[in-house]
């Protein structure tokens, strides 16, 4: 089901179903892989061994479907619409993987990074493509420095490797200024959760990925407003 698009496999196997049942290993038929519909056709269970499927799946499929539709309504068929679809898939993917397992998978991140670069080249030409590559590298280096300082100050992992790689994707997509705005916004969004985690002592590790990608999502949608704001300040 949707997990195959989101690259949800491996550690997910026991939690969220991929396009095969990890209880009995049987693969699903095509009609068992239709988003939302299939969950109800299968009555929320594997047709082979009756293992329960995660109700998270149809929910994520519905949310993604709504966000895809909104992207099309707002942008029509355009570069922005394709990027919004990519960001929506990443948003759902990272929300599930980072909140549940404290992991941001490399594979979708690499695939989407290449996809964004190809789109930049097709829609805006070689110069924009080159600027994107440089921005990605610069943001990556900047985050590595922050991580290095953070790690030595806190004597512990301050930023996950996944967060650094995610930030590089921000650089590729939005360039330097907007990706820094996204990262700052993401950190602000994470702040209440971090405080809550510290106060309740519930979690030692705070998943930054979902907040960072939410920041990116918001900045991308309101890019004009953010750009105006930046030009007023600087």
Return residues touching Zn ion (CB under 5 A): 21, 23-24, 46, 48-49, 51
Please, which residue, 25 or 200, has the CB nearer to Zn ion?
25
Distant-in-sequence, close-in-space partners of 184: CB < 8 Å, separation ≥ 6: 215
Please, which residue, 20 or 193, has the CB nearer to Zn ion?
20
Q: Hey, what are 149's tokens?
A: 């300082």
* Angle formed by the axes of helices 161-200 and 106-124, nearest 10°: 120
Please, which residue, 18 or 213, has the CB nearer to Zn ion?
18
Q: How far is the CB of 3 from Zn ion (least distance, A)?
A: 14
Q: How far is the CB of 84 from Zn ion (least distance, A)?
A: 35
With vertex at residue 200, the alpha carbon angle to CA 99 and CA 14, rounded to the nearest 5 degrees, is 30
Please, which residue, 46 or 67, has the CB nearer to Zn ion?
46
Q: Hey, what are 5's tokens?
A: 């698009």
Q: How far is the CB of 47 from Zn ion (least distance, A)?
A: 8
Please, which residue, 27 or 127, has the CB nearer to Zn ion?
27
Q: How far is the CB of 144 from Zn ion (least distance, A)?
A: 43
On whether the CB atoms of residues 167 and 137 are closer than 8 A, the answer is: no
Please, which residue, 53 or 117, has the CB nearer to Zn ion?
53
On whether the CB atoms of residues 120 and 128 are closer than 8 A, the answer is: yes
Separation of CA 192 from chain center: 20
Please, which residue, 51 or 152, has the CB nearer to Zn ion?
51
Q: How far is the CB of 51 from Zn ion (least distance, A)?
A: 5
Q: What's the rounded Cα separation, in Å, for the pair 37 and 48?
A: 18
In Å, how far are 9, 202, 205 from 197, measured between CA atoms? 28, 5, 9
- Helix, strand, coil percentages, rounded to 5, for the chain: 75, 0, 25
Q: How far is the CB of 139 from Zn ion (least distance, A)?
A: 43
Q: How far is the CB of 104 from Zn ion (least distance, A)?
A: 28
Q: What's the rounded Cα separation, in Å, for the pair 134 and 81?
A: 24
């Amino acid at each position: 089901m949707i997990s195959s698009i989101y690259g949800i496999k491996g550690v997910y196997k026991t939690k969220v179903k991929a396009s095969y049942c990890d209880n009995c290993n049987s693969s699903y038929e095509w009609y068992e892989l239709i988003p939302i519909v299939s969950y109800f056709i299968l009555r929320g269970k594997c047709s082979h061994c009756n293992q329960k499927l995660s109700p998270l799946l149809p929910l994520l499929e519905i949310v993604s479907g709504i966000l895809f539709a909104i992207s099309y309504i707002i942008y029509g068929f355009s570069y922005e619409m394709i990027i919004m679809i990519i960001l929506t898939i990443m948003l759902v993917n990272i929300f599930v993987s980072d909140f549940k397992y404290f992991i941001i998978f490399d594979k979708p991140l690499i695939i989407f990074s290449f996809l964004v670069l190809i789109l930049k080249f097709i829609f805006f030409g070689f110069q924009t493509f080159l600027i994107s590559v440089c921005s990605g590298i610069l943001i990556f280096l900047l985050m590595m420095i922050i991580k290095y300082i953070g790690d030595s100050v806190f004597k512990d992992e301050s930023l996950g490797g996944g967060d650094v790689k995610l930030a590089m994707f921000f650089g590729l997509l939005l360039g330097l200024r907007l990706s820094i705005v996204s990262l700052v916004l993401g950190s602000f969004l994470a702040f209440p959760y971090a405080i809550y985690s510290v106060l309740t002592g519930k979690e030692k590790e705070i998943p930054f990925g979902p907040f960072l990608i939410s920041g990116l999502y918001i900045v991308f949608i309101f890019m004009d407003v953010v750009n105006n704001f930046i030009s007023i300040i600087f």
